[in-house]
Each structure stands twice: as C-alpha cells, then as structure tokens.
Amino acid sequence: MIWDQKIVFARYIEDCGVPCEHLTPHMLATPFYRGRFVTIIVPTGFGNPRFSNLLPALRAAAPRINRFVNSGGRLLVFGAACDNAAAYDWLPFNLVYHHSYGPSRIEIDQSHPCSAFLADYDTSCVECDGYFTEHEGVVVASADGRPVMIEVDTGEGRIIASTVHEYPSRGFVKEFCTAKGETLF
C-alpha cells in the first residue's frame, strides 16, 4: 500500500489474510528502490494535497508502475478525492475523474470477476467520491449510469480503478492480492 504514513486500510488488508507492506511516496519515487509484490494499492485521496503528497510521486514513478503491471502485477487505485481531472495521468491509459462525494445506488456487472468488490455491501446505498467521465477498459460498476469502477488489462497484469469510498470485500482482497508469484517493482 502506498501512502504517506501507515493507515487503518493496511490493517484491514492484513485482517483479510494478506500481508501488507507500507510504501511511502519517497520510496516510490526513488529509482533504486526495488520490491516484489502481487498488488499495489493506492487509497482514496491520493490526488488531494490536503490528505497526501502522493500524486507527484505517482507521476515520477509512472514508468515503473506501468512496467510492474505489464509484467503481471496488479494495481488497485481509488478516488483522487479532488477536483483534478488529470489526477490519473500517471496511469498507462486515459482516465478522467470527476469528484462528487455521496451515497449512490450501484449497478454491478455480476458476470465480471471484480463484482466481488462489493459482495459485503448493500449496493442500494454505497458511498462514492466521484465517477469517471472518460475511461478505457471495462465498466464493472456504475452509479446513475456513470462508471465508478473500471478494469483495464495491460500486458500480463491488470488495473482496477474505483471511486467506491468503501473497503473492498474480504473475498475480493484475498483473490486480488494473492497470486502464485510476485512481480518486481
């Protein structure tokens, strides 16, 4: 998990039975840092300077993040929590975000494996911090016809972007963060 300091979300990941290592923005942007991971998680608020200094580090590490995913890694990125449509410009595909916080009725493509993300929730009222106005990939979930979760396969890996402002279900975390091997970052 990439964040400025340790957060409760990391404890939740560990409670799901998955080890969770904390990476700071400084570690992420350092060219000589090397780690081996299955999944990298970027929590909600990464684009808002009031919450985090992560966005400049994500932009600096964009080539490494892209290489990690193309080589088989998984990336789970949440809402930027700011009015910056370009907050996702560090991803290897087009994704434009509109910040708008509030409860929403979520429609999920139940045939998609990522639909398990909201397995533990009443989808008639789920907090979201925005939606995507432009995107590539497959829409997994939407609110009022607006995409709130998309999946993009890139190389050997995949990226899930979600504006759902809730922790993913335990089953989803266990599946998405577990693999036969790790990928070099």
141-160 pLDDT, tens per residue? 999 999 999 999 999 999 99
For residue 51, give the amino acid letter. Answer: F
Report field, pTM of the whole predicted structure over 0.85: yes
Does the pLDDT of residue 173 top 90, yes or no?
A: yes
DSSP letter at 39 equals: E
What is the torsion angle, in degrees rounded to the nearest 10, for the CA atoms of residue 117, residue 176, residue 76 and residue 31?
170
d(CA 139, CA 15): 28
Decide if pLDDT at 125 tops 90. Answer: yes
Strands 138-143 and 106-108: antiparallel
Query: Please, which pLDDT band fits residue 30 given cuts at 50, 70 and 90?
Result: confident
Q: Cα separation of 38 and 73, whole Å? A: 6
35/37 Cα distance (integer angstroms): 6
Residue labelled with tokens 């999946």: 151
Write out pLDDT tens, residues 97-115: 999 999 999 999 999 999 9
pLDDT of residue 29: 81
Domains of the chain: 8-184 (3.40.50.880)
